[in-house]
């Protein structure tokens, strides 16, 4: 069993209260940072730790923090992106509802490092009950003197607010999140300027995922070097993986980066294999927007090496034979799954969530959904399969924000690896649309 840095005490009775959390070593990082470290030293520790953003893109957090513009006399902000809405990803919800003080502790330490005097947690609108948990925890932290004016007598003051979204996936995109936080329509902004220069209220802002901010706590407690010892290569530390789909033990696992994918799926320590004794067909490794991979390619890379749960190993082979770690939404599909139906389902989601601001995504997501609907219901033609690839290509890279890519990648990857299955839907529409039908031919591997 690997080390658990974030979720060690997650099952302790009453850990969501300040007292119990404090008893289990909570808020040590705040004490350590505020009393013994300068803000730059905290940033330095985060840099040393090699921590990479846990929200999906995997950008080095220390580097992001050091990019923050620091003009004199202008407020800066740390914003926590808790708008977790990627299908397949549900790690932040659990972390916040069980360990609200861990996030608050990370927010205080992180805000201190960045010199922010006001910080925000932007939480997904559907998670109202979590918002209440967080608000209660924040009130406790204020009462205990960890938030508010002159924290622990250090002269540093911080106000922390929780703000709920109104239920839009696009508000998880950092600039759309900032727009929404400002009270506007959640449309992504054109970049540049980047949030590090002009973010919330046109002030320098850092936007980090919940898990990233929580990971600051063990980094400050144990030191960046110690944190960097966990993991493999540039993928350091631990990562929460929300495993779902046709697994014996779906759930949230904190893994040390570097666990082989095969071990993660089949060992009893983690997911315990595929349910009902069936065979694995495909895996979406990092939330619905990353490319889907067939069993053969998710367990081993194209070169025949074991695939590991790291940023590098999962993206080995680029998008031809690889995928991404993304936000850690691990969706496993057994042999009875219809890939066409699944792709249509994802596509429907992106069609519904596109903000409609830029034309390729607004029109393209709907188009792909309609073509996939046709294919899934047995009215498609061979020409439609190429059309899908073509439309996906027209969206990819030409949009304002990454939602366009998130919509295009899964479709392109599904056709790339499961083209036979799409063709089978065209040639055998009756069989393919029968209830419970599933194609069992071999996938395309490269």
Segment near other proteins (CB under 8 A); pick from 157-165, 215-223, 300-308, 392-400: 392-400
Nearer to other proteins, 41 or 182 (CB): 182
Nearer to other proteins, 125 or 250 (CB): 125
- Taking CB under 8 A as the criterion, the residue among 4, 300, 362, 377 binding other proteins is 362
Looking only at residues 119 through 178 of this chain, which bind other proteins when binding is defined by CB under 8 A?
168, 170
| φ and ψ of 16, to 5 deg | -80, -5
> Per DSSP, which regions of 154-294 are E strands?
159-164, 205-209, 231-232, 235-236, 238-245, 251-256, 280-284, 292-294
Give CA–CA dist 122/177, Å, rounded: 8
Nearer to other proteins, 112 or 409 (CB): 409
Selection from 177, 41, 26, 205 nearest residue 119 by Cα: 205
Segment near other proteins (CB under 8 A); pick from 155-163, 282-290, 324-332, 348-356: 348-356
Torsion of CA 94, 95, 98, 101, to 10 degrees: -160
Q: How far is the CB of 83 from other proteins (least distance, A)?
A: 15
Give CA–CA dist 151/142, Å, rounded: 9
Give CA–CA dist 80/118, Å, rounded: 12
Nearer to other proteins, 61 or 365 (CB): 365
- Rg over CA atoms, the chain: 22
# chain residues binding other proteins, by CB under 8 A = 30
Q: How far is the CB of 394 from other proteins (least distance, A)?
A: 4
Segment near other proteins (CB under 8 A); pick from 114-122, 203-211, 389-397, 422-430: 389-397
State the DSSP string of 199-215: -GGGS-EEEEEHHHHHH
Segment near other proteins (CB under 8 A); pick from 129-137, 140-148, 362-370, 416-424: 362-370
Residue 364 as a binder of other proteins (CB under 8 A): the answer is yes
Segment near other proteins (CB under 8 A); pick from 84-92, 127-135, 332-340, 346-354: 346-354
The long-range contacts involving 224-228, CB below 8 angstroms and separated by at least 24 positions, are 224/44, 224/45, 224/46, 224/47, 224/48, 224/49, 224/50, 225/48, 225/49, 227/5, 227/48, 227/49, 227/50, 227/51, 228/48, 228/49, 228/50
Residue 345 as a binder of other proteins (CB under 8 A): the answer is no
Nearer to other proteins, 30 or 168 (CB): 168
Q: How far is the CB of 361 from other proteins (least distance, A)?
A: 8
Residue 323 as a binder of other proteins (CB under 8 A): the answer is no
Enumerate binding residues for other proteins (CB under 8 A).
168, 170, 184-185, 190, 351-360, 362-367, 370, 387, 390, 393-394, 397-400
């Amino acid at each position: 069993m690997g080390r658990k840095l974030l979720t060690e005490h997650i099952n302790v009775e009453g850990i969501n209260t300040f007292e119990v959390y404090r008893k289990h070593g909570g808020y040590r990082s705040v004490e350590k940072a505020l009393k013994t470290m300068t803000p730059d030293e905290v940033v330095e520790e985060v840099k040393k730790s090699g921590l990479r953003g846990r929200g999906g893109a995997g950008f080095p957090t220390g580097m992001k923090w050091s990019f923050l513009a620091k003009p004199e006399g202008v407020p800066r902000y740390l914003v926590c992106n808790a708008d977790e809405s990627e299908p397949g990803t549900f790690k932040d919800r659990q972390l916040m509802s069980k360990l609200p003080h861990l996030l608050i502790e990370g927010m205080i330490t992180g805000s201190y490092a960045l010199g922010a005097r006001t910080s925000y947690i932007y939480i997904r609108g559907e998670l109202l009950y979590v918002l209440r948990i967080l608000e209660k925890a924040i009130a406790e932290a204020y009462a205990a003197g960890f938030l508010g004016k002159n924290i622990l007598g250090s002269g540093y003051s911080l106000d922390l607010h929780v703000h709920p979204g109104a239920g839009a996936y696009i508000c998880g995109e950092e600039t759309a999140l900032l727009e929404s936080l400002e009270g506007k329509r959640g449309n992504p902004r054109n970049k540049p300027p980047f949030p590090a220069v002009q973010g919330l209220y046109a002030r320098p802002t850092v936007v980090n995922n919940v898990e990233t901010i929580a990971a600051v706590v063990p980094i400050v407690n144990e030191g960046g070097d110690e944190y960097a010892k966990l993991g493999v290569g540039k993928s350091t530390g631990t990562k929460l993986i929300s495993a779902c789909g046709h697994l014996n033990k779906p759930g949230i696992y904190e893994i040390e980066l570097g666990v082989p994918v095969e071990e993660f799926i089949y060992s009893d320590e983690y997911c315990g294999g595929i349910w009902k004794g069936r065979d694995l067909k495909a895996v979406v490794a990092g939330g619905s927007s990353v490319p889907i991979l067939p069993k053969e390619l998710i367990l081993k890379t194209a070169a025949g090496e074991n695939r590991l749960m790291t940023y590098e190993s999962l993206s080995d082979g680029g998008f031809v034979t690889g995928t991404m770690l993304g936000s850690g939404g691990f969706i496993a599909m057994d042999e009875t799954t219809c890939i066409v139906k699944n792709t249509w389902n994802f596509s429907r989601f992106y069609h519904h969530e596109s903000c409609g601001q830029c034309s390729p995504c607004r029109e393209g997501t709907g188009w792909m959904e309609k073509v996939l609907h046709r294919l899934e219901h047995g009215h498609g033609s061979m020409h439609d399969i190429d059309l899908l690839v073509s439309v996906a290509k027209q969206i990819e890279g030409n949009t304002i924000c990454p939602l366009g890519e998130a919509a295009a990648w899964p479709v392109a990857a599904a056709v790339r690896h499961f083209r036979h299955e799409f063709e089978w839907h065209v040639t055998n529409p009756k069989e393919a649309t029968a209830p419970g039908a599933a194609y069992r031919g071999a996938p395309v591997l490269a």
